[in-house]
A and B are shown apart, each in its own frame.
Chain A
């Protein structure tokens, strides 16, 4: 996985630079998401490593599927990936692209799990506090998780803020061992 990221990074960086130049980051984001969704399809991923399918056939096939969803530059990008036999990297490229985009726009995606439903007001308050704590704008995605018992669990990238009863009970269990 880490090796994949190393290989995918130059592609993602290049795509992001181009997207910034043309001011089409949102569009690129959508096309990359579509491409990775297509290529992660089981039936298609079988084709990727099939030696009987030539690069040319594969390219025609994939461009055919993506028709209407990607523009000319997107098609060129796919051609490049097929030529370099790096189609398998597409999902990693998409992920890195999103990371570059988020970094550039100055926000972080935050996964918030709560034990009980947030009220509108509490949600707003919480978002403001979190933005202050992380010193970045946030895109919050709230899910309900009863197993937390109480409190909230926040995930922003690889940072985790565990304010749940479950987490504290686990912590206490460890201390008492």
Chain B
């Protein structure tokens, strides 16, 4: 950002004009001990829980333990320059971060400072990172879909606006890939995305940013990064920071999608902070409030009704509901979902997408386990046509799983069983989808329709994806009007059904793949 000298002096002049000259009253304390990012401060008799405290050298900390004679503070950032006897000032504010439209397209740290080298972020508004979730009266049920763009998810585990859907699986099972595809697919839908990277390698974060830029998805995305090299305190607050930024859109009657990648690492960071603050350890050495750590965060993802939006915006936005959809990610160790943090988050969320290493390694990507994955509220939000056509897919796969064990005795099986197995194999194949290629509702509808109506049954299993690709490009070139009609309404009428039927029949007769 280039500024000429007159602009700079104007800026300074404006700041001096607004400068508050009243004498400053605050409470002070002194640093008693510094260890591993935890500082004990003597004094500060009226410090608040979660209050921002100012240390020398423009460093801030957050008061976490209020004890009789001292305050336990985590330093946000580096703490090397803080020593015993330093003065600490109360700021009288709960930790706040900047929020607003200007953050879109930017990469920020857990305090909202830009770290992408694109200059300062011009936001006037700030919001506290810890807020109470909207109440019962303010809420509305989930009834609009968030299209992830992946057949297997949109057809079988639909996600609605305001829902919290967990993505769970071992390392290297494609959890982040689903999240990134979800962000890319929100291009042009008006859904703002926030990707919170917690405890990840900087190289992985850079990769995600680059992929989003390549697919033109950064314009509607904020990235909050607390990488593995940052202090545990920053990793612990990053999800709350991202959530506040998402709530800004929700409270203005817009829709937002937030991805926490991943909450396991946040729980680790919180465990570190808690143990250093000498809070008693519990199961797996996590502190007693690790459930609340995640529940208070995920409760903030919600759909709020038009009245609440009107109230929050002071009447500027009328008749619009707002939503914040959350896709938390949890990494399991060796597929163990009964560990402490996974069970907690499973019970908090409205369903989970379960990814499996074995599926991933056998080439089924996304490696979604259709049997264990559920969406408890998304069904109400699903597009009509996908709901109608996707129901069959779920059933086919469920029956296939039951019979799959017999598949090797194919020659001894009766006709109907053999048919079901063959159908299952083809549907499983059809659910595969490459990364960074999200599909529209119409494209999914055509694929699912072809499977439901048995058009795939005559095709070799390893040709299914080729058939699908050829069919979709044919539909795009020859029946673009039909596709647009499906995308526009999402309805499934007899007329649309008839049109699809004839289109696919013509394609099979006239084309090869």
* A interface residues, Cβ below 8 angstroms from B: 1-2, 5-6, 151, 155, 157-163, 167-168, 171-172, 174-177
Contact = CB atoms under 8 A, between A and B. Distances in A.
B24 interface: yes
Contacts of B23: 151, 161-163, 167-168
Given A158-B45, A174-B58, A167 B24 contact: yes
Given A6-B68, A158-B44, A175 B15 contact: yes
Contacts of A177: 58
Contacts, number: 58
Contacts of B67: 2
A175 B58 CA distance: 11
B32 A162 contact: no
Contact of B28 (A2, A5, A160): A160
A2 B19 contact: no
Contact of A2 (B25, B32, B89): B32
Contacts of B12: 176
Q: Which 10 A-B pairs have the closest CB atoms?
A: A163-B23, A2-B70, A158-B43, A2-B69, A5-B69, A161-B25, A1-B32, A162-B24, A160-B28, A158-B27
Contacts of B69: 1-2, 5-6
Contact of A160 (B19, B25, B58): B25
Nearest to A159: B27
Interface residues of B, number: 24
Contacts of A172: 16, 19
A162 B43 contact: no
A163 B12 CA distance: 23
B418 interface: no
Interface of B: 12, 15-16, 19, 21, 23-29, 32, 40, 42-45, 58, 67-70, 89
B150 to A, nearest CB: 46
A175 B42 contact: no
B32 to A, nearest CB: 5
A161 B28 CA distance: 10
28 contacts: A1-B32, A1-B42, A2-B32, A2-B40, A2-B42, A2-B67, A2-B68, A2-B70, A5-B68, A5-B69, A151-B23, A155-B28, A158-B28, A158-B44, A158-B45, A159-B25, A159-B26, A159-B28, A160-B27, A160-B28, A161-B24, A162-B23, A162-B24, A168-B23, A171-B24, A174-B58, A176-B16, A177-B58
A6 B42 CA distance: 12
